[in-house]
Each structure stands twice: as C-alpha cells, then as structure tokens.
Amino acid sequence: MLGALRTTTSRAVVDSWLDKVALVQVDGNAVTLQVGDAQLADCVEHNYLEPIASALTTMLGAPAHVALREVPPTDMGPQTVALFPAERAPVRQGLPLELLPSDADTQEWQDLAPRFNFDNFVVGKANELAAAAAQAVSQAPGQVYNPLFLHGGVGLGKTHLLHAIGQAARQRNPGLRVRYVAAETFIDDTMSAWRSKDGHARSDVRALYRHNVDMLLVDDVQFLQGRTPMQEEFFHLFNALHQSGKQIVLSCDRYPSELQQFHDRLRSRFDWGLVAELTPPDRDLRLAILQRKARDLALPLPYDVALYIADHLRNNIRELEGALTKLTAHARIGQRGIDLALARSVLGPLVELPSRNLTAEVIQRVVAQQFGLKITDLKGQKRHRSIVEPRMMAMYLTRKHTSMSYPEIGRVFGGRDHTTVIHACQKIDWQIKTDASLQSAVQSIETALGK
C-alpha cells in the first residue's frame, strides 16, 4: 500500500507520515492501522485517510473500511517494524550535483519503479495504442509525440507506462536525464517554494524542474484542476521544456477537454502531440494479464480460476492483481492449493453475482420514491443534505446490486467522477455499520427492490 501511495502522494508525505503507520489487522475489508502518537493520528486522520482507503480499496477489490488506532510507541510490537522494512527509493542517480542550484540538493526525485516495465506490460485492444506510443516515445524522446498524453480510469496502467517509458529510454541512452513526478509532488514542491521566506526558493524549484531534465514524466495531471497559479507555473515549465525539445509525457484520468477549471492554453497544449486512451481491459486481456502475473509470481493458477476472476472482476487491472494477492494469501494461510472452490469462497462475496433485472434506473426510481425526491435530484448537482444522502445510497445500491463499474455508475448519476462514486459507496458501507437508522433505510429500499 505504501508503494501504491508513493506513486500518488508526495514522497515527503509518505516518508514523514505514512511510513510510521503500522498495519495491525486485515479482516475482510476492515483494515486496522495503528499510529504511535496523537499528532500523527490527527494528521493521518484528517489528510490521508481517504487516499489510504482508496489505495486499499483498489488492492482489496472492494470498499475498504479503515480504522485508525492510536497506541503509545512502547506498545507497538516489534512486528510493526518488520512489516515495513526501510524500503526507500534510492537517491536520484547520475546527476552532477554542482550543476544543480543549491536548494535542489535536498530535493529528491522519485526513482523509477523497476517493476513497471514494458516487458511485463501485457498488451491488448484496450491499451495497444497507448503502449505503442509509449514505446515510440521511449525510443525517440522529443521526436515523435510531444507531449504524449495518456488518459484513462484508475488502475488501467497509466503509471505503469510512465515508468516503463522512462526506463526504456534510460536503457537506450544511459545519459538521458529522466524524471518522474506525480503532479501532486510538483504541487507540493511549488507550494513550499512559494511559502518559503527564502527568495531563491522559487527560482530553485523552477530550476529543479527545468534544468537537468531531458524527459519529464508527470503523473495524474488532473490534480492541477482548479489550481490557477499552479497551472500557470506548470504552463511555463511545459513551454520551457517543449521549446528545448525535451520529451514530456503526461497521464490523466480524463481526456484534456474534460478537465474542469483548467486554463484553455494549457489544456490545448496537452493535445499538441498524441492523446492515447487506456480503456478497461476486455475478457481476453484480463485473462492474459492474470496468467502473466501468475507466471511471474510462480503461482499455479488453474485455468478455471483465471476464468472465474476474469469474468467477475471487470473494471480494471489493479482489481485483478488484488484478487491474485488475496487468493495467494488465503492459499498460504490455509496451506492448500488455489482452486475454484477457494476462489469462490474468497472472492465470491466481493463479486456477488449481479441480479438479472435490477438496473440503475430501477434503483434510482425506488430510492427517489422512498425519499420523496425526483430522479433528476439524484442525478443533479444539488448539495443539500436531504438529497446528498439518498444519492449516495442509490450509488451504493447500484454498485451492490448491478455489475456496473464505478465509472459507469458515475455516468448514469449525472456524469459524476468515478472517485465520487467510490467515496459514496465507502461512506454508506461504513454508515450501515455505525448508524442504525441509515441501516434500516437501506434495508427497506432493498426490500422494495425485492432483495
């Protein structure tokens, strides 16, 4: 999970805060974390519970409930330490330090993750254009598509491709200065430079990103949405690099024109080069990926089990990995081989067969009826509490009783982002366990739905 958070959250955050959080228990989807002091508990609770929950959700393949326990350091057993061996990414490599501005010495670039390479990226219809473009860019940086803009939903391989491009390019040309940065890290770095009293800090950050860089890989640029001064800063960085022929590769969870609250001039630069989409994998690709991962893990995965997973987990590739991880863990704990019975018992509850005739439309109608709302209220933007809660319930029930993916649910609920849907599902799932009146409201809707 820390590994996953490192790719989406700033390194500094992971190293200074999240590294000190220990995992004490995983019981189904209920995950208990433990921290050693109140300040840290507060910080994690307020700022990072959501990213943690969403990282866990993708790993477990179902909404995760995260509980945070605060325990004085002396009570944290030695196994806590063992759970997180100091697995820090190496300091940036191969840079002549004297060429860097002074402050940049303390900055560290996140290193590329060797486990994300072209060799283990399985190609199918869903990603072949993106993969081919990525290969091309890695072979001729700055010469074919600049920028290369990769977009697609969560868990479809954007981060994987970014790292793969960087590594392949570096392999071809070891002198090439390849830099990977999560957009959030760029934002953090720039923010702290702006806040710093030191007048040089601002120009130092600019220097860090503009000099000593031949290829810049920026992950998740959607985080720049709504941040006008930050977009300004990024716009100048983009221009500086582009004008000097440096390769820029961007990833995003949506198409450039779908970016909200975004400078047109920056948005339009995003499709100067090539825009390539990663779509959810079809069944063949899901199967191929499962088999490839099993092979890499030296995991005997019977074909019927692979089929079972591929048929039931259809949203993204991270889910498939999560299923394999879960199965392996259960097989190991139970000291048994992986077979269909095990897969059914372990994964069944997560992938419950959707009922035949229940659709999002029916659910929306019943929920609206129960709360005296209009269906358009559920799809609309009103933020009033009396609407927000039923809307979240309806999304939750749609996820539970249909086979629709989060992005699909988002679309039928007025074009909402899939992360909004995930959040709604997690919230209701949690409240059902803690709020009796909400629980009975959900139950009565389910009865009305014939469940």
Whose Cβ is closer to ligand ADP: residue 35's or residue 126's? 126
Among 52, 154, 178, 424, binds ligand ADP (CB under 6 A): 154
Nearest to 388 by CA among 399, 397, 379: 379
Among 159, 185, 364, 398, binds Mg ion (CB under 5 A): 159
Nearest to 338 by CA among 352, 350, 323: 323
Rg (CA), the chain: 23
Kind of pairing between the strands at 22-27 and 30-35:
antiparallel
Sheet holding 148-152, edge to edge: 178-182, 215-219, 247-252, 148-152, 274-278
Dihedral (Cα; 48, 293, 290, 162), 10-degree rounding: 60
Token digits for 175? 């002198």
Q: Give the number of residues in contact with ligand ADP, rule: CB under 6 A.
A: 17
Contact status: 289 vs ligand ADP (CB under 6 A): yes
Cα dist. 419→57, 260, 280, 407 in Å?
11, 15, 16, 8
Encode 157-193: b = buried (16+ Cβ within 10 Å), e = exposed: bbbbbbbbbbbbbbeeeeebbbbbbbbbbbbbbbeeb
Residue nearest to ligand ADP (CB): 157
Choose the binding region for Mg ion from 9-17, 56-64, 156-164, 257-265 (rule: CB under 5 A): 156-164
Subset of residues 90 to 119 that bind ligand ADP, contact rule: CB under 6 A = 116
Contact status: 313 vs ligand ADP (CB under 6 A): no
Work out what residue 65 binds among Mg ion, ligand ADP, none; the CB cut-off runs from 5 to 8 Å by kind. none
Contact status: 9 vs ligand ADP (CB under 6 A): no
Whose Cβ is closer to Mg ion: residue 41's or residue 183's? 183
CB 251 within 8 A of CB 158: yes
The amino acid that residue 376 corresponds to is T
Choose the binding region for ligand ADP from 75-83, 148-156, 203-211, 300-308 (rule: CB under 6 A): 148-156
Contact status: 138 vs Mg ion (CB under 5 A): no
Choose the binding region for ligand ADP from 156-164, 202-210, 335-343, 372-380 (rule: CB under 6 A): 156-164
Contact status: 185 vs Mg ion (CB under 5 A): no
Give the nearest distance from C-beta 318 to ligand ADP in angstroms: 4
Contact status: 399 vs ligand ADP (CB under 6 A): no
Number of H helices, E strands in the chain: 21, 8
Where along the sequence are the contacts to Mg ion (CB under 5 A)?
158-159
Residues at the contact surface with ligand ADP, assessed by CB under 6 A: 116, 120-122, 127, 152, 154-160, 289, 317-318, 321
